[in-house]
């Protein structure tokens, strides 16, 4: 394990499934896969929303100050509110795709290991 604060992230993503299964139990393996899935979904959501929604709210045109400038109430143009719906659709589509991909991979792995 590396000694720096975030050095574990590289090792966390580079370790192979076979190596993990040989060293720990199957339940622990599935838990690690769950953590990887949550990290990917969270990172994707942060990049998607922070890159578009924060500037949209900040420059929304209602003239609110401080933290109120980052709220939904700072958006003056009603058509811009559809950006939230579009981003939600993109985010949940990606979440579904990630969960389905992990589910099919884990199901196949479980069938192989169960034999």
Span 47-56, mean pLDDT? 92
36 or 87, which is more confident: 87
**29: pLDDT confidence band, cut at 50, 70 and 90?**
confident
- Tell me, yes or no, whether 14 lies in a domain: no
pLDDT of 1: 67
Q: Provide the residue range defining the domain that includes 55.
A: 21-114
Question: In 70-109, which positions are buried (b, 16+ CB within 10 angstroms) versus exposed (e)?
Answer: beeebbeeeeeeeebeebeeeeeeeeeebeeebeeebeeb
Angle at 50 between CA 45 and CA 54, to 5 degrees: 140
How far is residue 97 from each of residues 16, 94, 102, 104, measured CA to CA in Å? 21, 5, 9, 11
- Tell me, yes or no, whether 7 lies in a domain: no
Q: 42: helix, coil or strand?
A: helix
Rounded percentage of the chain residues whose pLDDT exceeds 90: 28
pLDDT above 90 (res 78): no
Specify the pTM: 0.76
- Tell me, yes or no, whether 3 lies in a domain: no
**114: pLDDT confidence band, cut at 50, 70 and 90?**
low
Phi and psi at residue 6, in whole multiples of 5°? -115, 20
- Tell me, yes or no, whether 86 lies in a domain: yes
pLDDT of 115: 62
**109: pLDDT confidence band, cut at 50, 70 and 90?**
confident
Quote the number of domains for the chain.
1
92 or 105, which is more confident: 92
**Distance of alpha carbon 96 from alpha carbon 86, whole angstroms:** 15
99: tokens are 């969960």
């Amino acid at each position: 394990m590396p000694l720096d604060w975030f050095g574990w992230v590289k090792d966390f993503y580079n370790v192979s499934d076979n190596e993990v299964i040989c060293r720990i139990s199957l339940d622990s393996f599935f838990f690690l896969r769950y953590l990887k899935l949550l990290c990917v979904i969270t990172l994707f959501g942060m990049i998607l929303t922070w890159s578009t929604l924060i500037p949209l709210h900040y420059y929304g045109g209602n003239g609110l100050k401080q933290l109120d400038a980052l709220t939904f109430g700072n958006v003056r143009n009603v058509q811009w509110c559809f950006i939230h719906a579009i981003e939600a659709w993109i985010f949940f589509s990606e979440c579904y795709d990630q969960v389905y991909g992990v589910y099919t991979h884990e199901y196949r792995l479980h069938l192989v290991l169960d034999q």
